[in-house]
Amino acid sequence: MAAGEPVPHEAAGSEQGSPEPVGRAPAIRPFLLTAGRVSGSGAAAALPVETQIVATSAGLTALPSLTFEQHDIVAACRRPQSVAELAARLRLHLNVVRVLADDLRAAGHLAVHVPNARTVQDISVLRRVIDGLRAVPDSRGSLRDSS
Amino acid sequence: MVSVPSPTHGAHSATAADAVEVEQPPLPVKLVIAGGFGVGKTTAVGSISEIRPLTTEAAITEVAAGVDDLTHTPGKTTTTVAMDFGCITISPTLKLYLFGTPGQDRFGFMWDDVTEGALGGLVIVDTRRLDDCYAAVDYFEHKDIPFAVAVNAFDGEIQHDLDQVRWALDISDHVPLVVFDARETGSVRDALLVVLQVALSRAENAEAG
């Protein structure tokens, strides 16, 4: 190869729209699923971490047709889960779960129960939490595995 | 956000024609447990949580403090940190979440992503490293979130008496300061109850005034 010839194409290959990205870190893929969207970037506020999410009957019916993370999220939401629990159990980034959960809500597969901000000031709720916490014994037995 | 905002007890937001029984979620409430690295946040969560603490990644905004680098331009960057949490089922309709917020010295953190809507916060202090908790104390004061400070008594001992700690941390008299043991369920429970009492008093005053 004579000096001055164009360099081989390898270096430029990835910039020419190769459809097969390979060797990506697993952490990247969820954000590919969200098409690069992150929560809180638009007009919509990020779902609070304790937001409860539960599958709708339509979502459970549609479960066999769902794939990958969408499938896993709806399946995990057979029982109500918080956004944080979902992220932890499915090992997904919190903000990926927020975006995908909102998509699945829009598709009718999930019901998303956004907590009411006024709860913080709700005296009856605070009293119920206090009474409930007082009932916690001085020591707990061995923790059950979270499942 | 066009999500259905649930009223206090979580109304059904799916259609009434649901054929499959869909379990109603509880009303979620949360407390935030803050403090420096290795101060016992995860231990405290684990001592009282009914599940083994889970870990997720939360986005936090770092505000560069520039304490030891005067040439540094103050700015904000969003970073991702591991966050441990657990929960306590108060009743079938009410669930308390406990989020341990990560902390570091040198940086001020804005935990808005986690603290938004929190009933209150508990700042855990290790008296051997008092300055590790300044950021958390400042944060709760600044955000006007009800909070208490709990000195974690490693091996049942603390290095300074509580008046010294209060003076060193410059926390006002109305902020409760307690000693607790992050390994003991009952001790963590009582510390959290102190926080909730602060929140309740504030809510009652707000209603009265």
pLDDT tens, residue by residue, A78-87: 999 999 999 9
Tens-place pLDDT, residues A60-70 = 999 999 988 99
Q: What is the CATH number of the domain that holds B100?
A: 3.40.50.300
Over residues B77-132, the pLDDT tens digits come to 666 677 889 999 999 999 999 998 876 544 445 577 788 899 999 999 998 888 88
B24 touches chain A (CB under 8 A): yes
User: What pTM was computed for the model?
Assistant: 0.79
Q: Quick check: A111 contacting B, CB < 8 Å?
A: yes
* Residue B54, helix vs strand vs coil: strand
Q: Between residues 97 and 136 of chain B, which touch chain A (CB distance below 8 Å)?
A: 97, 99, 113-114, 116-119
Residue B10 lies in a domain: no
By residue range, what is the domain housing residue B37? Answer: 27-204
What are the extents of the domains in chain A?
Answer: 44-134
Q: What is the pLDDT of residue B116?
A: 87
Asked if A114 lies within 8 A of B197 by C-beta distance, the reply is: no
Asked whether the beta carbons of A82 and B97 are under 8 A apart, the reply is yes
DSSP 8-state symbol, B155: G
Q: Is B160 exposed, middle or buried (0-12, 13-18, 19+ CB in 10 A)?
A: middle
Give the pLDDT score at A55.
97
- Predicted-assembly ipTM surpassing the 0.85 threshold: no
Q: How many domains is chain B partitioned into structurally?
A: 1
For residue B95, the SS3 value is strand
A26/B contact by beta carbon, under 8 A: no
- Residue A122 forms contact with B (CB below 8 Å): yes
User: pLDDT value at position B21?
Assistant: 66
Residue A17 has a pLDDT of 44
The answer to whether position B38 is within a domain reads yes
Q: Do the beta carbons of residue A112 and residue A53 sit within 8 Å?
A: yes
The reply to whether B22 falls in a domain is no
| Angstrom distance (rounded) from CA B15 to CA B6 | 14
Distance CA B209, CA B178 (A): 28
Q: Which is nearest to B28 in space by CA: B108, B136, B116, B141?
A: B116
Residues of A in contact with B117 (CB under 8 A): 48, 50, 115, 117, 119-120
Beta carbons of A47 and B3 less than 8 angstroms apart: yes
Determine the distance in angstroms separating the CA of A55 from the nearest CA of chain B, rounded to an integer. 7
Q: Does A111 contact B22 at a Cβ distance shorter than 8 Å?
A: yes
* Interchain CB distance below 8 Å, A54 and B25: yes
In a domain, B9, yes or no: no
pLDDT category at A13 given cuts 50, 70, 90 is very low
